[in-house]
Amino acid sequence: MEWSGLGSVGSISAFWSQLVVIINHFKKLLSGKSLLISLPYLWLILLVAIPLLIVLKISLSDMGPTSVTDVLSWSQGWPTIKINFSSYLFLASDQLYIDTYLSSIKYALLTTLICLVVGFPFAYFMARAPKYLQPMLLMLIMLPFWTSFLLRIYAWKTLLVSNGIINNALLSLGVINQPLAIMNNSFSLVLGMVYSYLPFMILPLYANLSKLDLRFLEAAADLGANAFKTFWLVTVPLSKAGIIAGSMLVFIPAVGEYVIPELLGGSDTLMIGRVLWDEFFANNDWPMASAVAVVMMLLILLPMSLLSRYQSEQAESKL
């Protein structure tokens, strides 16, 4: 018989039982937990990890005459890696890029600071408002979120341009003689960013301040602290987590913002998101755009590590 080539019946059954063990192993892998984990895992690897690796790879490659030359190439059957730092070198040597990064950080910091100065009292007063009013006050903060961000930025454009609604109103009232220059400069840029990100500052601050134990404030008052001292020495330290969370939620998206500088900024208000866009769409320089992106990510990782240090417990319990 041809079977004899495989050996005795015993070895076949041994082989069979081995096969069953292997199949069961795979079944176990595919069942329940593993399947549940691997589905979102693969989805995120495909859409987060791989794209970021590709950005890194392209940032290290050279812009050829027509297309990007690959970092990894095959010559005579062997993989060859050719790393090209020219984009990074150009980035570090060109004053324009350095200025742009610095001014992005400057505008983002300014936006964060203004949001904090406006948002902290707001959240504080909101948390002190009558309990029955608070859900409505909160909803009024969230409501603009549901209407298009783009349209709200566009609305500021109609308000701020030199023959816009604000200037026309002030001119007809006789407050000013000539239109104010409040559009396409750093004023309109920061105004637009404060407007868009203020709710991101208010919401975590409110969540934090509404849980504040009022007895601490009473205790401070009993011990003779005045209102300012109580605020500075009790309220602010107790709401530190909210301040940090709110500041990060404003600062991080503000650094890379593209739409607001494009619609409200001027030619001299340099923002890095806009530079990345132009490198990619106008200059078609993929390695340069990727290098700009990599450096931008590194810039964001720094405040983010701060955030995660303060928030890791909170975030972990949330997710």
Residues 73-112 that bind another protein (CB under 8 A): none
Compare residues 219 and 306 and give the one whose CB is closer to another protein: 306
Contact status: 261 vs another protein (CB under 8 A): no
State which residue, 196 or 243, has the beta carbon closest to another protein: 196
Strand partners, 74: 79
Query: Can residue 139 be called a binding residue for another protein (CB under 8 A)?
Result: yes
Number of residues that bind another protein (CB under 8 A): 82
Q: Is 36 in the site for another protein (CB under 8 A)?
A: yes
Segment holding 260, helix H or strand E:
helix 259-264
Pair 149, 263: CB distance under 8 Å:
no
| Least Å from the CB of residue 22 to another protein | 20
Cα within 13 Å of Cα(151), Cβ side: 5
Q: How far apart are CA 109 and CA 248, in angstroms?
A: 10
Between residues 14 and 35, which has the closer beta carbon with respect to another protein? 35
* Residue of 109, 110, 138, 141 interacting with another protein (CB under 8 A): 141
Query: 68: helix, coil or strand?
Result: strand
Restricted to residues 263-292, the positions that interact with another protein (CB under 8 A) are 263, 273, 276-277, 280, 286, 289-290
- Strand extents, DSSP E, the chain: 62-63, 68-69, 72-75, 78-81
State the helix-helix crossing angle for 32-44 and 9-30, rounded to 10 degrees.
Answer: 60
- Binding of another protein by 51 (CB under 8 A): yes
Nearer to another protein, 9 or 302 (CB): 302
Q: Which is nearer to another protein, 22 or 117 (CB)?
A: 117
Q: What is the CA radius of gyration of the chain?
A: 29
Give me the residue label for tokens 């987060």.
48
Q: How far, in Å, CA of 81 to CA of 69, rounded?
A: 11
Closer to another protein by CB, 7 or 51: give it.
51
Smallest gap from Cβ 125 to another protein, in A, equals: 4
70: which DSSP letter?
P
**d(C-alpha 113, C-alpha 106), whole Å:** 11
**Beta-bridge partners for 66:** none
Query: Residue 37 Cβ, how far from another protein at the closest point, in Å?
Result: 5
CA separation (Å) from 228 to 125, 208, 232? 15, 20, 6
* Residue 146 interacts with another protein (CB under 8 A): yes or no: yes
* Residue among 183 and 243 whose Cβ is closer to another protein: 183
CB of 219 to another protein, least distance (A): 20
Which 163-182 residues touch another protein, going by CB under 8 A? 163-165, 168
Out of 151, 173, 223, 298, name the contact with another protein by CB under 8 A: 151
User: Residue 246, interface with another protein (CB under 8 A)?
Assistant: no
**Interface with another protein in residues 184-243 (CB under 8 A):** 195, 198-199
Residues 188, 78: Cα–Cα separation, whole Å: 55
Q: How far is the CB of 6 from another protein (least distance, A)?
A: 38
